[in-house]
């Protein structure tokens, strides 16, 4: 016997994960599908306009997660960048490299507020798994290193990739150029 893995996702991620891990148990878990503006300067306005829908979808997902936890007797929840998917009844891990979201121009005025909001969600988890390396150099730069001192345990889990290193055969070719 081993650990049973239950994967909850929606739409294309669900289809991909079913193909990649056919031995797992799957649950459909709907989420919010953001629509991003073509102009980055409009992002704050679009986010504020979408906030009621985002919060509604997050609440629905949390209720559904509770049902999944009960149904499958889940002991650990690992949430891949879904801020709403945690539970007080089980150990909850949040996987993200976005610890210090950065904005540009006049939007930088909101950076401290954004950091506090993100930290508010992080502390609902028992642990953060960060797919990067802790020191310098690293892949994510400032993005994967927190702007605030977080009170939740953080573990840098290294770089993740689906690519594998292939052994190539060295082929020596002699050329004659005239």
Q: Is 178 inside any structural domain?
A: no
Mean pLDDT value across residues 113-131: 89
Tell me the three state secondary structure of residue 9: strand
| 99 and 30 within one domain | no
Residues contacting 34, CB < 8 A, separation 6+: 50, 54
| 54 and 79 within one domain | no
Tell me the three state secondary structure of residue 31: coil
**How far is C-alpha 80 from the chain's CA centre?**
4
Question: 58 — phi, psi (to 5°)?
Answer: -65, -40
pLDDT at 40: 73
Predicted TM-score (pTM) of this structure: 0.80
Sort strands 25-28 and 76-80 into parallel, antiparallel or unpaired: unpaired
Residue found under tokens 């990739």: 161
Range of the domain at 17: 1-74
**How far is C-alpha 142 from the chain's CA centre?**
16
Q: Is 102 inside any structural domain?
A: yes
Q: Is 175 inside any structural domain?
A: no
Domain stops at, among 25, 45, 74: 74
Residue 166 pLDDT greater than 60, yes or no: no
Mean pLDDT value across residues 63-83: 92
Domain stops at, among 74, 95, 113: 74
CB atoms within 10 A of CB 176: 4
Per-residue pLDDT tens digits for 4-54: 899 999 888 899 999 999 999 999 998 877 777 787 777 778 878 888 888
């Amino acid at each position: 016997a081993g650990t049973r893995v239950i994967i909850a996702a929606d739409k294309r991620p669900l289809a991909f994960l079913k193909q990649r891990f056919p031995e797992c148990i799957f649950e459909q878990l709907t989420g919010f599908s953001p629509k991003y503006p073509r102009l980055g300067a409009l992002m704050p306005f679009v986010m504020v306009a979408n906030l009621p829908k985002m919060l509604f979808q997050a609440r629905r997902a949390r209720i559904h997660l509770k049902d999944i936890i009960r149904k499958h007797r889940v002991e650990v929840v690992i949430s891949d960048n879904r801020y709403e998917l945690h539970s007080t009844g089980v150990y909850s891990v949040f996987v993200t490299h976005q610890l210090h979201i950065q904005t540009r121009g006049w939007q930088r005025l909101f950076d401290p507020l954004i950091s506090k909001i993100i930290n508010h969600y992080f502390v609902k988890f028992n642990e953060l798994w960060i797919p990067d390396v802790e020191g310098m150099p690293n892949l994510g730069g400032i993005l994967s290193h927190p702007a605030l001192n977080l009170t939740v345990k953080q573990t840098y889990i290294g770089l993740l990739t689906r690519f594998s290193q292939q052994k190539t055969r060295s082929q020596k070719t002699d050329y004659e150029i005239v």
